Amino acid sequence: MSTPAALAAFRNEPILELRRAPVRESLAEALRELDARLPLEVPAWVGGDRLRPGEGGFASTDPGAPGRVVADAARATEADAAAAVEAAERGFRDWSARPAAERAEVLRRAAQILRERRLELAALQLRECAKPWPEADGDVCEAIDFLEYYAAEAVALDEGRALVQVPGERNSMRYAPRGVAAVIAPWNFPLAIPCGMAAAALAAGNAAVLKPAEQSPGSAGALVEALHEAGVPRDALSLLPGYGEVGAALVRDPRVHVIAFTGSSAVGLEIVRASAETPDGQGHVKRVVAEMGGKNCVIVDGDADLDEVVPEVVHSAFGYAGQKCSAAARVLVHEAAADTLLERLAGAVSVLDVGQADRFATEVPPVIEREAQERVERYAAMGEPLARSERPLPGEGWFCAPTLLADLPDDSPVLSDEIFGPVLAVTRVRDVDEACDVIDALPFALTGGLFSRTPATVERAAARLPLGNLYVNRGITGAMVGRQPFGGNRRSGIGSKAGGPDYLLQFVEPRVVTENTMRHGIPVE
Amino acid sequence: MESQLQEVGRTIHAALPGKSRHPLRVIDQRAMELASQDAELRAALFRFVDVTPACRSLDDLARHLAGYLEEVDERPPPIEAAMRMSGTRPGRAALGAAAAAGVRHMAHRFIVGESPRAALRPIRHLWEHGAAVSLDLLGEATVTEAEADRYAARCMDALETLSEAAPSWPARPVLEADSLGPLPRVNVSVKVSALTPLLRPEAPEVGREDAARRMLPLLRRAKELGAHLHIDMESVDTVEATLGLVFELLDEPELRAGPSAGIVIQAYLRESPDQLEQVLDWAARTEREQPLVVRLVKGAYWDHEVVDARQHGWTPPVFEDKRDSDRNFEALTRRLVESWPLARPAIASHNLRSVAHAVTVAREQGREDRDIEFQVLRGLGDDLAAALADLDHRVRIYCPVGDLVAGMAYLVRRLLENTANESFLGEQQRGTPIEELLAAP
């Protein structure tokens, strides 16, 4: 298990000091180099077979310039999915037989490869997903963190757990990998999330088949390349760029043991339903790890320091155009602070810098695709905006003006649906208790925030709120591996915590061995 | 050099006024001594002072105080008494009133008035007693354009209000000229972060440009009024924008003839020697008529810089050993004095050793005493200012202006400084012998 030693050895990869001009210049240079190489070619890896993008391939494009192709990817089919699972069953036998420490070493090597390529990888997701520099760099660091953290955790987990021992009997509890893991990943953390889920599966000794989001095959391709290069056997890790049908085929496949999914609630719940099917011949029950949506609220108490609240809330709501599962969607503000907060928030939203992701000044980049832009506009139109970013939007790209709405009717969909875009709604409440009632009534329970300077209020809210991650007197995004194990409760997720000490348990099955050590009435130990 | 320094130090030390001169200050001193001995109590005190402006009633205030004190494990008797009072409504009203008065009293020690106009009387009083001031407008964080505009308007008002009053002040030759020429009576310090909501470390040019359009009218007005405008330095995140802004704006042809302006170098920064070279290079190139004033400070954001760096896994940009910082302060002092008349040195320190060092270096370099200015913070360096003024040194007191709401962040920082164990003032208050106070870092 997570021993102090494993934790002591872990350090988060430092993000770049973007406040230093030479660092910024090195990133701009990395982007120029990447641009000269575009479009990248992303193959499908099925076992050891490299399938090049042919006639049926697809492309990822720059959300800020949809005409620019970032990656040409092979489009995997359902038959490829079946072949990948078959290869994974083979790969599993060898990979799971290796000592945990040896697997951990491979993952650490992969971390080192990502470290050496970090500027290029940040540039890649800047182009492919319009992730601005600070967040693109943060994503690469998080991917490195997952590899290092799960490597250390897996070695600790391999030692098993202590059990009660009595004379004449020896009890041991160890953890064994489950088998083949299907990893179905989103585009919004295009390197970190697929990396985290795949690294956890691999560290624990499983084989993995990765189906990345169709919007970000390039980043996933770079990840799989690094893992293969580090020494993960090709049949223990396949890559299936493609669309929903490939993921669905993996979920249905009776040879898959674990499904690790991060994405929308609709798809997540469908996976939970489909994986419950246990046809004849399937010798196990599937385990689902699902991280889904949220409707994250920040409570602002009457005694909160608004100097802190405004920038933290604005960053939590509008950073990466609100496209983080942890992003702030609502503010529940104590009526005593409401007028001042609304005035200051409105002013702060109106000066948000909306622009292309490659500008260091950009705070709100374009959203990922046209469909997302239309969805955001639909919700933003449901109220009279208190503030919208006043700057002209770039002519090209899927841009949305950041929007602040307030005092919406209780039944407004803006208050309950996950919009996944730069829209923030403010609601007045009598006090923090009423705010807790509002959160309690939502089906989601992912992240949330509380700004209060009353110790008793903080304690009461922390005890009451069902959230997976509650942040007190700070922004609600930017969970760090090992420091803020991340994941939602209720309909936001099944309760696993990525980057935390419990996460690997989803990818293993516990085995207890009890041995009688008595021989002829004498304990032989 | 060292023996001269010791002698200068002893002379200044001997000129420090006795503690009995400020009977009211004893109350603060008690509270601060209590706080500096117990980390938990100190945390409770800071959290309370910090929340005071957000409290809506005396009852609310008392509840907050009790909430923070509850987290202190070992409570001295006066604190226990406060806890008991918080149990009843009338008790809370009394406790709240006492606590509010306490915070106001503490604030008045560090903040000279609620507005420039309200500050005129104490400023004149200081001037008459031989100390000039630099007025600093405290404010909430600037997160909107309207707030940036309001701050700029307050700065403008400060320039005008002071300029209107200053001609009636009596003549104080030490404060009004150095060997390079006359020095403005009116001196206002401004913060770049308050002049724009757009200041971000990864894009310094955006905040710089936005702040520049509000700074320019202030510089123009200061020129018309013959006032000095000093651009303060804040956390490392804003250094690049601030330096860039100063270099760019002050080089504007329309500002060549004035106003007198200044910048700050923070000696606790590892990069401060390079920054000083940048400033001196610029000063050598610029066609401005008046030399730039360079205020040398230790730096006031040490905890912030260290925590911020640690949380990100960076090497802290500040020296972590106080002695390194003190040594660097002396090295920068020397460089600055040697570069005269490229820049006018202003040594801002409460550390007797640093001050004595600066006096000694200046004399060794053949400078007149009036060619080097000493600066202190109101509420912290008043005694030192009085001593230096008595010895005919040029002294300026940095005087914050603002209400309690606006001043809270500043107040908390000052309290932190005043209760820090290794601060010079802390040592001085504990009666550390003069040999140690003047020992080389």
Q: Give the domain ranges of chain B.
A: 38-108, 112-437
Could you tell me the two tokens for A180? 């083949």
pLDDT score of A5 more than 70? no
pLDDT (0 to 100) of residue B77: 83
CATH architecture assigned to A296-472: 3-Layer(aba) Sandwich (3.40)
Any A CB within 8 A of B56 CB: yes
Phi, psi for B301 (deg, rounded to 5): -120, 30
Element (H, E) at A237: strand A237-239
In chain B, the residue whose alpha carbon lies closest to the alpha carbon of A132 is: B202
**Once rounded to an integer, what is the mean pLDDT over residues B272-279?**
98
pLDDT (0 to 100) of residue A133: 98
pLDDT (0 to 100) of residue A1: 46
Higher pLDDT, A453 or A395: A453
pLDDT score of B214 more than 90? yes
* Residue A164: Cβ-neighbour burial (10 angstroms; 0-12, 13-18, 19+): exposed
Q: How many CB atoms lie within 10 A of CB A522?
A: 9
Q: What percent of chain B has pLDDT over 90?
A: 75
The residues near B36 (Cβ < 8 Å, ≥ 6 apart) are B42, B418, B419, B420, B421, B426
Residue with tokens 């001995």: B37
Q: Do B202 and A360 touch (CB under 8 A)?
A: yes
Give me the half-sphere count of Cα atoms (radius 13 Å) on the Cβ side of residue B259: 27
**Once rounded to an integer, what is the mean pLDDT over residues A473-488?**
97
pLDDT (0 to 100) of residue A216: 98
Instruction: Estimate to the nearest angstrom the gap between the alpha carbon of B137 and the chain centroid.
Output: 11
Q: Do B144 and A350 touch (CB under 8 A)?
A: yes
Please tell me the distance from the alpha carbon of residue A213 to that of residue A188, in angstroms, as a whole number: 9
Alpha-carbon distance B18 to nearest alpha carbon in chain A (angstroms): 39
pLDDT score of A234 more than 80? yes
pLDDT (0 to 100) of residue B78: 80
pTM for this structure? 0.95
pLDDT score of A2 more than 50? no
pLDDT score of B24 more than 60? no
pLDDT score of A219 more than 80? yes
What is the rounded average pLDDT for all residues in chain B?
Answer: 92
pLDDT score of B208 more than 80? yes
Instruction: Estimate to the nearest angstrom the gap between the alpha carbon of A162 and the chain centroid.
Output: 32
The amino acid at B82: A
Q: Out of A368-372, A468-472, A476-480, B420-424, pick the least confident.
A: B420-424
In chain B, the residue whose alpha carbon lies closest to the alpha carbon of A23 is: B202
- Chain A positions in Cβ-Cβ contact with residue B68 (cut-off 8 Å): 455
Q: Do B206 and A361 touch (CB under 8 A)?
A: yes
- pLDDT, tens digit, 9 for 90 and up, residues B291-348: 999 999 999 999 999 999 999 999 999 999 999 999 999 999 999 999 999 999 999 9
In chain A, the residue whose alpha carbon lies closest to the alpha carbon of B140 is: A307
Q: What percent of chain B has pLDDT over 70?
A: 96
Please tell me the distance from the alpha carbon of residue A496 to that of residue B363, in angstroms, as a whole number: 69
pLDDT score of B27 more than 70? no
Number of cross-chain residue pairs from A and B with Cβ atoms under 8 Å apart? 89
Query: Could you say which DSSP state residue B259 is in?
Result: -
Q: How far is CA A234 from CA A94, A95, A114, A225, A229, in A?
A: 11, 10, 18, 10, 9
Any A CB within 8 A of B140 CB: yes
pLDDT score of A223 more than 90? yes
- pLDDT, tens digit, 9 for 90 and up, residues B76-113: 888 888 888 888 999 999 999 988 888 888 888 889 99
The residues near A115 (Cβ < 8 Å, ≥ 6 apart) are A13, A144
Higher pLDDT, A244 or B84: A244
Q: What percent of chain A has pLDDT over 90?
A: 93
- Tell the CATH superfamily of the A4-292+493-511 domain: Aldehyde Dehydrogenase; Chain A, domain 1 (3.40.605.10)
Q: What percent of chain A has pLDDT over 70?
A: 98
Any A CB within 8 A of B26 CB: no
pLDDT (0 to 100) of residue A13: 98
Alpha-carbon distance A498 to nearest alpha carbon in chain B (angstroms): 20
Spatial contact of B67 and B95, defined as CB atoms under 8 Å apart: no
Alpha-carbon distance A298 to nearest alpha carbon in chain B (angstroms): 18
Q: How far is CA A300 from CA A334, A352, A404, A476, in A?
A: 6, 21, 16, 13
pLDDT (0 to 100) of residue A523: 83
Beta-bridge partner residues of A490? A444
Partner residue facing B144 (CB), from A302, A304, A348? A348
pLDDT score of A365 more than 80? yes
Please tell me the distance from the alpha carbon of residue B151 to that of residue B142, in angstroms, as a whole number: 8
**Once rounded to an integer, what is the mean pLDDT over residues A100-108?**
98
Beta-bridge partner residues of B396? B132, B375
**Once rounded to an integer, what is the mean pLDDT over residues B149-170?**
98
In chain B, the residue whose alpha carbon lies closest to the alpha carbon of A361 is: B203
> pLDDT confidence of B25, banded at 50, 70, 90?
low
pLDDT (0 to 100) of residue B414: 80
Please tell me the distance from the alpha carbon of residue A145 to that of residue A138, in angstroms, as a whole number: 10
Any A CB within 8 A of B59 CB: no
The CATH fold of domain B112-437 = TIM Barrel (3.20.20)
In chain A, the residue whose alpha carbon lies closest to the alpha carbon of B65 is: A454
- Chain B positions in Cβ-Cβ contact with residue A305 (cut-off 8 Å): 50-51, 54
> pLDDT confidence of A232, banded at 50, 70, 90?
very high
Q: Do B147 and A350 touch (CB under 8 A)?
A: no
Query: Residue B358: which of B371, B377, B342 has the closest Cα?
Result: B371
Q: Which residues of A are catalytic?
A: 291, 325
Please tell me the distance from the alpha carbon of residue B369 to that of residue B337, in angstroms, as a whole number: 11
Rounded to 5 degrees, what angle do the CA atoms B36, B40, B43 make? 80
Could you tell me the two tokens for B271? 């990069």
Please tell me the distance from the alpha carbon of residue A497 to that of residue B398, in angstroms, as a whole number: 51
pLDDT (0 to 100) of residue B26: 57
Query: Residue B34: which of B68, B75, B67 has the closest Cα?
Result: B75
> pLDDT confidence of A271, banded at 50, 70, 90?
very high
Preferred mutation among A19, A133, A334 to probe B, highest tally of B CBs within 10 A: A19
Q: Do A14 and B312 touch (CB under 8 A)?
A: yes
* Residue B403: Cβ-neighbour burial (10 angstroms; 0-12, 13-18, 19+): middle
Beta-bridge partner residues of A49? A46
pLDDT (0 to 100) of residue A6: 61
pLDDT score of B23 more than 50? no
Alpha-carbon distance A302 to nearest alpha carbon in chain B (angstroms): 7
Q: Out of A376-390, A403-417, A440-454, B382-396, pick the least confident.
A: A376-390
- pLDDT, tens digit, 9 for 90 and up, residues A31-45: 999 999 999 999 999
Domain ranges of chain A: 4-292+493-511, 296-472
DSSP per-residue letters across A246-266: HHHHHHH-TT--EEEEES-HH
Preferred mutation among B142, B202, B210, B405 to probe A, highest tally of A CBs within 10 A: B202
Q: Above 0.85 for ipTM, yes or no?
A: yes
Length of chain B: 441
- Chain B positions in Cβ-Cβ contact with residue A135 (cut-off 8 Å): none
Please tell me the distance from the alpha carbon of residue A58 to that of residue A214, in angstroms, as a whole number: 8
